[in-house]
Structure 1
Amino acid sequence: MQRAVIVGAGLAGLRVAEELRRAGFGGELVLVGGETHLPYDRPPLSKEVVRGERDDTTLKPREFFDEEKIELRLGSAAVGLDTVTREVKLEGGSALGYDELVIATGLTPRKIAGLPDLGGVHVLRSIDESLALREELAPGKRALIVGAGFIGCELAASMNSGGVHVSLVEPQSAPLASVLGEQVGELVGRLHKEAGVDLRVGVGLAELRGDGRVSSAVLTDGSEIEVDVVAVGIGSIPVTEWLAGSGVDVDNGVLCDEVGRTNVSHVWAAGDVAAWQVDVGGRKRVEHWSNAGEQAKILAGALTDTSDPDAAVQVPYFWSDQYGLKIQALGTVAAGDTVHVVKDDGRKFLAYYERDGVLAGVVGAGLAGKVMKMRGQIAGAAAIGDALEAASA
């Protein structure tokens, strides 16, 4: 009987396991994870969990794994891989053989080098970290959030809603500028400013001070602010160090073809850690919730030879919840695109992203219907002129 081992017990790993069973894989299926928790959803960690609205984001109950005959190896992080003997090396010295291996180890947060080890400083990635951060928050507390990416922006909105005084610092010119571009980033920044967040762009963290516990932060412009708690959200990097010496090609993620195959036979990758072939000469990692499910279905079809050649073209999609608005991005938006803001009422907005004369993507806040109805035009590479004309009609 064949054994498929999935390393990474997050959303992508779970989705791969589900899709393999749906595709008819009847062999042994083992899901390996470094945390002791059942696979859980991460997007709520910076929102509902830190606000105290949820304590548990488990995706499937234990009964599901029993019914689907999915063996769980939790609390056993992978530390090495031998692709010759086809064995995954686990913490504690044990090894797990495989016939097919799927790498779904996700990301780990970037850290700022040289920071002192002070109480009150948090890096958000796990549910335990989110719960620990929540314990430190209360109305009137002073929080510094370093990094205005999606995690930082969502944390700022969540803390602000609980009466915490929030300072949000970002070295770039606007929140989310590297993802959505400066123009739309400024519209997101406007939401934070109007909510009372002390948003500072073009500035970063230089130093943290305190005696055992953080009490102030010095920024790169020389200013110093008093703080009770600090959350660092400056991005993440793929968890690939355990693949050193395995022969699996890695370059800002595990390099894959268009269905998740790596350069090594019987080794696949999916989710945030995987850089899939997306066009001629290009590979890209997509760090979004919906992407995990889409890749899992494609990979499972390829692994079991049950792929649907007529499957519809998938249009990338992600979202972020801030200040009661759902900020949605549909398509392949990039900071270097030409941006056309077609609607802006001072709070809600809608922007079209142009690349090479066609509609590449749409970003909207509080306008879900207007965003999602553009899926067909994005998939069909509609001319930007036609899209803008229709928007103004």
Structure 2
Amino acid sequence: MSGLPDTAPQDPGAHIVIIGAGQAGLMAAEALRSGGSSAAITLLGDEPHAPYHRPPLSKAWLAGEVDAAQLLMRAPEMLARKQITLRTGSPVQAIDRAAQQVRLADGSALPYTGLVLATGATPRRLPLPGAEAANVLTLRSRDDAVAIAAGLARCQAEGLPLVVIGGGFIGLEVAATARKKGVAVTVLEAAPRLLGRVLSPQLSDWYAALHRSHGVALELGAAIERLVVQDGQARAVQLADGRALPCGLVVLGVGVQPNDALAREAGLAVDRGIVVDACGRTADPLIVAAGDCAARRLPDGRLLRLESVQNASEQGKSAAAALLGQERPFTATPWFWSDQYDRKLQMAGLSEGADQAVLRGSLDEGPFSVFQYRAGRLVAVDSVNAAKDHLTARKLLDAGVSPTPEQAADLGFNLAGLLAG
């Protein structure tokens, strides 16, 4: 993809519109200001809330450990001081590239000289009979989390179980939080193991044992036939083997779909996300994209779409730089985390295609890490309650330094020493 022309918006008459007021959109807005842009900046959010942190929604928020004020990333008055106009409750209906306008759902239009697409993603629903029941919920937004918290409170009060469909991070985090509240939980996962796309079999099994030790009933290889609905509420989840699992609440955690419809309808390239280069640029020199909605074209031609705070933040900054006519490719090692019970999983790198896993530490006796290799090269490290390993792993992967499997397994070997010089 070609870079932006030298006439990228830098004058007071310019107007940069950012669609999406989440992590990526907010980072782009602030990076534009800190990068010296004097353009007017409008940040458009679908939701009625100012930008807020999403990771706590499935954990601390559901557990009642944080309040709305603690979720807030930036208060509207703070954005106003930076001359960033925040418009909440303002969904966008279409992008008119020829006229350089975005059309809002209320019928109004905003002109742009630069456009950031930070539209995020939407949780998938399942095409199951009964899935439209009022107590079958997904978790993405603050309002979703409020509804799930209310459902868990009802389950607590009435002694009703929670059924989680999907053994990914969101589903397992909700399950862990529900168990802390004393709610009975069953997790249904269609695959033969938990987190099968992102964790080694060894670590998948460890997480299964962790959840079972906290009283979660796990059903792996589960086939769901329908949800039994009475009076608009799901009362049971009917499995293909004939069993019916009672429920007071059902949470779906079966992945997300990138919100790329606006881009597709505007004629931009879309392939399971809005196709961008390492700087967040689309084929239109006035339009960039960042965050969960963006699929980055790698040097080998493959597309990579990541769902993480780090990716949203860094892509947002890269996209802002592109609109300023600068090159700021985001190529750092991706990292993720998940809190379940008193265990913090920190992941560095991407384990796709790994053919060897090496354990550093003990699965039974404390902090440990799983080093994953592909064709003898380190590609990812998954650490549980081992922050030092995680930080070292990120540095090793960024530097392209690969300890041998024997070095990784040896607790007495100083991995950080490989970075010296």
Relative to the length of structure 2, the TM-score reads 0.88
Within a 5 Å distance, the mapping from 1:131-146 to structure 2 comes to 131-138=146-153, 139=156, 140-146=159-165
Counterpart for residue 221 of structure 2: 202
Residue number among 65, 73, 79 corresponding to 1:59 in the alignment:
73
Residue number among 13, 24, 33 corresponding to 2:36 in the alignment:
24
1:267 aligns with 2:287: yes
Unaligned regions of 5+ residues in structure 1, if any? none
Counterpart for residue 417 of structure 2: none
Residue number among 210, 230, 234 corresponding to 1:211 in the alignment:
230
User: 1:15 is matched by which residue type in structure 2?
Assistant: M
Aligned-residue RMSD, C-alpha = 1.9
1:126 aligns with 2:144: no
Counterpart for residue 279 of structure 1: 299
1:81 aligns with 2:95: yes
1:2 aligns with 2:21: no
**Distance of 2:213 and 2:222 partners within structure 1:** 20
Structure 1 residue 208 displacement after superposition: 0.7
User: 1:263 is matched by which residue type in structure 2?
Assistant: A
Deviation readout 1:103-144 (Å, 9 max, x if unpaired) = 000000000114323232111111111111111214333000
**Distance of 2:29 and 2:63 partners within structure 1:** 31
CA contact (8 A) 2:322 2:328 kept: no
CA contact (8 A) 2:347 2:382 kept: yes
Look up the SS of the partner of 1:374 in the other structure.
Answer: helix
**Distance of 2:325 and 2:373 partners within structure 1:** 37
Residue number among 115, 135, 142 corresponding to 2:129 in the alignment:
115
**Distance of 2:403 and 2:81 partners within structure 1:** 49
Look up the SS of the partner of 1:295 in the other structure.
Answer: helix
Flag the 1:204–1:59 CA change in 2: closer, same or farther, 3 A. Answer: farther
Within a 5 Å distance, the mapping from 1:220-239 to structure 2 comes to 220-239=240-259
Counterpart for residue 96 of structure 1: 110
Residue number among 135, 149, 171 corresponding to 2:168 in the alignment:
149
Counterpart for residue 241 of structure 1: 261
Structure 1 residue 183 displacement after superposition: 2.9
Structure 1 residue 219 displacement after superposition: 1.9
**Distance of 2:298 and 2:258 partners within structure 1:** 18
**Distance of 1:39 and 1:169 partners within structure 2:** 32
Structure 1 residue 5 displacement after superposition: 0.6
Structure 1 residue 296 displacement after superposition: 1.9
**Distance of 1:90 and 1:137 partners within structure 2:** 36
Relative to the length of structure 1, the TM-score reads 0.94
Structure 1 residue 235 displacement after superposition: 0.4
Structure 1 residue 305 displacement after superposition: 3.1
User: 1:317 is matched by which residue type in structure 2?
Assistant: W
Structure 1 residue 307 displacement after superposition: 4.3
CA contact (8 A) 2:119 2:293 kept: yes
**Distance of 1:363 and 1:34 partners within structure 2:** 35
Matched residue count: 391
Structure 1 residue 348 displacement after superposition: 4.3
Worse overlay, 313-322 or 114-123: 114-123
